[in-house]
Amino acid sequence: MKAVGLRELKNRLAEYVRQVRSGEEILVTDRGAVVAELGPPGRASVNGAAPAGLAELATRGLLTLGAPNDAATYPKLPRLLTPGRVTRLLDEERGRR
Give pLDDT, residue 45: 45
Domain map (residue ranges) of the chain: 2-69
Output the DSSP codes for 9-37: HHHTHHHHHHHHHTT--EEEEETTEEEEE
Backbone angles phi, psi at 29, to 5 degrees: -115, 150
Give pLDDT, residue 48: 60
CATH code: domain 2-69 is 3.40.1620.10
Neighbours of 54 (CB within 10 A): 17
* 38-65 confidence digits (pLDDT tens): 988 766 544 466 787 888 888 777 888 8
Element (H, E) at 88: helix 85-94
**Prediction pTM value:** 0.46
pLDDT one digit per residue (tens) for the chain, 97 residues: 899 999 999 999 999 999 999 989 999 999 999 899 898 876 654 446 678 788 888 877 788 888 777 778 778 889 888 889 999 999 999 986 6
In whole angstroms, give the CA distance from residue 50 to residue 56.
Answer: 10
Give pLDDT, residue 43: 61
Mean pLDDT rounded to a whole number for the chain: 85
Neighbours of 55 (CB within 10 A): 19
